[in-house]
Amino acid sequence: MSDMNNKVALVTGASSGIGRATAKLFADKGAKVVVAARRQDELDALVSEIQSQGSEATAIQTDVCKVADVERMVDHAIKTFGRLDYAVNNAGIEGRFASITELSEADWDQVLGINLKGTFLGLQHQARAMLAAGNGGAIVNVGSVNSFLGVATGAAYCTSKHGLIGLTSSVSAELASQGIRVNLVCPGIIDTPMHKRLRRDIGDEVYDQALPSVHLQRAGEPEEIAQAIVFLCSDAASYITGTTLTPDGGFTLTI
């Protein structure tokens, strides 16, 4: 993978799971890292870990569905490190899974606000910073296999993730001529805190029924998804934009 020394990467939803693993991998590749999430304590711990390994990192508490927070997040990256080369819009929630007849407007707004609007706001401000610098860049949005697979009682979550396909494709078409690549990564069943919550909510038996459908017969690890994300940001992926990469162990091939 290409050298990322002196490049700057911004990762949202970095306090745990895929976001945390991605931030650490960027640092391992030599990038300076800006980590953002709502949980300050977890961000501070991550920054300390990255710094203890000799890399540079900074944290900023961010609610991605608030435009002022997103603007402040990107400004913080520029003021701290002077540039923005890579951005990963990973922040997301599963929200409440409920029948369409029972799902409340507040439930819907919360999930769409973070997962879809939050990604839109991130893209908007990240693109503005990259365009102003004129050095190109790479942005990766994080969806899910539910970006193309619906699931009963998951209308809000699946809709928010479906929307990322159109958002990514549209913004890629707009920014490609100016040297900014935009791609979407859609993980499958990954061993993250979100999936642990889903297992708790739907029960072990129901959750485990999905694993035999995974060709590799196991859940993925956050670090495996981080590899896909950082690859798409790297020069090794210089001819890849507007695409959807699905690291799911073969899960969607069996549906």
**Residues whose CB falls within 8 Å of the CB of residue 215, separated by 6 or more in sequence, listed in order:** 249, 250, 251, 253, 254
3-class secondary structure, 34: strand
Asked if 141 contacts 161 with a C-beta cutoff of 8 angstroms, the reply is no
CA dist list (Å): 210 to 38, 81, 188, 196, 202: 31, 43, 10, 14, 12
Q: Does residue 92 lie within any of the structural domains?
A: yes
Active-site choice (86, 157, 207, 239): 157
- pLDDT per residue as tens digits for the range 99-148: 999 999 999 999 999 999 999 999 999 999 999 999 999 999 999 999 99
What pLDDT is recorded for position 196?
Answer: 76
User: How far is 200 from 204, CA to CA, in rounded Å?
Assistant: 7
What pLDDT is recorded for position 207?
Answer: 67
Q: Does residue 215 lie within any of the structural domains?
A: yes
Q: Does residue 3 lie within any of the structural domains?
A: no
- As a whole number, the mean pLDDT across the chain is 94
Any idea what the CATH number is for the domain that residue 143 is in? 3.40.50.720
Phi, psi for 245 (deg, rounded to 5): -105, 130
When pLDDT is averaged across residues 186-196 and rounded to a whole number, the result is 88
Percent of the chain residues topping a pLDDT of 90 = 86
pLDDT top residue among 33 and 206 = 33
What pLDDT is recorded for position 253?
Answer: 72
What pLDDT is recorded for position 195?
Answer: 73
Q: What is the pTM of this model?
A: 0.95
When pLDDT is averaged across residues 47-66 and rounded to a whole number, the result is 98
- pLDDT per residue as tens digits for the range 2-45: 589 999 999 999 999 999 999 999 999 999 999 999 999 999 99
Q: Does residue 22 lie within any of the structural domains?
A: yes
Is 157 a residue of the active site?
yes
- Looking at the 3D structure of the chain, how many domains does it have? 1
When pLDDT is averaged across residues 68-96 and rounded to a whole number, the result is 98
Q: Does residue 95 lie within any of the structural domains?
A: yes
When pLDDT is averaged across residues 62-79 and rounded to a whole number, the result is 98
Phi, psi for 32 (deg, rounded to 5): -85, 140
3-class secondary structure, 124: helix
Q: Does residue 229 lie within any of the structural domains?
A: yes
3-class secondary structure, 153: coil
Q: Does residue 1 lie within any of the structural domains?
A: no
Q: Which domain holds residue 34?
A: 8-254
